[in-house]
């Protein structure tokens, strides 16, 4: 797989940063505060990667728009109560990004986060400089629609066949299939390796830093 790719597009939560358990907990706490049945932990993890509104619709399909807005507000307040730091990145991720950029790869992020949320996370982890372009769910279509990938590819002028998506969720891998571009899964986030393999990634890694041994 050496010299096969020019552009590497990373998901954020659960791929570069160890945030899945915190996000799932915040989704559950939002349900508690809004008096709604609390979803199981894996059910909460399964919607991570979607835009926040799509995630709420998927997790709580019976709610009305007013209750959905309340859930989003409660979730956001809970999520933002934690201060993000470089220590929240998975071990070795910062050094991996340094090495990949110095090796000449174009790096990008495609995330279900809002623009405000991603910018805050990038600045808090000191990683903003590594990415030539980022796309968020509130400025384009939510995963698994491939629009954010196609926008990144257009911005970088990379060839599809030389573009690689790295993600931890079925939404990431389905988005890559829809683009279509190559993908590598990581099992350190929202979904299990067994489930991710059903979306036919090139490989399924345990940690994102294993990428350095492959490309």
Same domain, 141 and 52: no
Return d(Cα 171, Cα 54) in angstroms, integer: 12
Query: Tell me, what CATH number does 160's domain have?
Result: 3.40.50.1000
**Percent of the chain predicted with pLDDT > 70:** 100
Return d(Cα 34, Cα 90) in angstroms, integer: 32
Please tell me the total count of domains within the chain: 2
Same domain, 162 and 95: yes
Rounded average pLDDT over 90-115: 97
Query: Tell me, what CATH number does 52's domain have?
Result: 1.10.150
pLDDT tens per residue across span 103-127: 999 999 999 999 999 999 999 999 9
Q: 125 φ, ψ to 5°?
A: -100, -5
pLDDT tens per residue across span 170-194: 999 999 999 999 999 999 999 999 9
Range of the domain at 75: 20-79
Same domain, 168 and 183: yes
- Asked whether residue 1 carries a pLDDT value surpassing 80, the answer given is no
Q: 133 φ, ψ to 5°?
A: -160, 145
Comparing 1 with 159, the larger pLDDT belongs to: 159
Residue with tokens 């349900």: 31
Residue 2 lies in a domain: no
* Residue pair 8/106 in contact by the 8 Å Cβ criterion: yes
Same domain, 177 and 109: yes
Residue 1 lies in a domain: no
Same domain, 202 and 129: yes
For residue 40, with 0-12 CB atoms within 10 Å meaning exposed, 13-18 middle and 19 or more buried, which class applies?
Answer: exposed
67: helix, coil or strand? helix
Residue 117 makes CB contacts below 8 A (sequence gap 6+) with 79, 136
Rounded average pLDDT over 186-211: 97
Same domain, 109 and 69: no
Query: Among 161, 134, 116, which residue's Cα sits nearest to residue 16?
Result: 134
Same domain, 150 and 168: yes
Residue 155 lies in a domain: yes
Rounded average pLDDT over 149-155: 98
Residue 92 lies in a domain: yes
37: helix, coil or strand? coil
Same domain, 71 and 166: no
pTM of the model: 0.96
Same domain, 34 and 102: no
Residue 24 lies in a domain: yes
Query: Among 212, 164, 209, 172, which residue's Cα sits nearest to residue 190?
Result: 172
For residue 68, with 0-12 CB atoms within 10 Å meaning exposed, 13-18 middle and 19 or more buried, which class applies?
Answer: middle
pLDDT of residue 165: 98
* Domain limit, last residue, from 46, 61, 79: 79
Same domain, 125 and 178: yes
Q: Where does 66-132 show beta strands of DSSP type E?
A: 106-111
Instruction: Please provide the average confidence, as pLDDT, over all residues in the chain.
Output: 97
pLDDT tens per residue across span 38-65: 999 999 999 999 999 999 999 999 999 9
Token representation of residue 153? 């590819």
pLDDT of residue 35: 94
The residues pairing with 134 across neighbouring beta strands, listed in sequence order, are 109
Residue 156 lies in a domain: yes
């Amino acid at each position: 797989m050496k010299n096969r790719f020019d552009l590497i597009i990373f998901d954020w939560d659960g791929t570069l940063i160890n945030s899945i358990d915190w996000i799932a907990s915040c989704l559950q706490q939002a349900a508690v505060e809004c008096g709604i049945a609390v979803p199981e932990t894996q059910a909460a993890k399964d919607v991570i990667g979607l835009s926040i509104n799509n995630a709420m619709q998927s997790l709580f399909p019976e709610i009305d728009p007013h209750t959905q807005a309340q859930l989003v507000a409660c979730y956001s307040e809970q999520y933002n109560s934690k201060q993000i730091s470089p220590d929240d990145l998975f071990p070795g991720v910062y050094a991996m990004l340094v090495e990949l950029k110095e090796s000449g790869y174009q790096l990008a992020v495609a995330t279900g986060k809002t623009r405000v949320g991603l910018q805050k996370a990038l600045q808090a982890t000191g990683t903003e400089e590594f990415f030539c372009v980022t796309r968020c769910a509130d400025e384009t279509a939510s995963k698994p629609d491939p629009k954010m990938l196609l926008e990144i590819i257009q911005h970088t002028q990379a060839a599809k066949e030389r573009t690689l998506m790295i993600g931890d969720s079925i939404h990431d891998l389905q988005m890559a299939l829809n683009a279509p571009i190559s993908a590598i899964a990581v099992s350190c986030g929202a979904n299990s390796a067994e489930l991710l393999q059903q979306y036919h990634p090139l490989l399924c890694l345990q940690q994102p830093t294993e990428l350095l041994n492959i490309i």
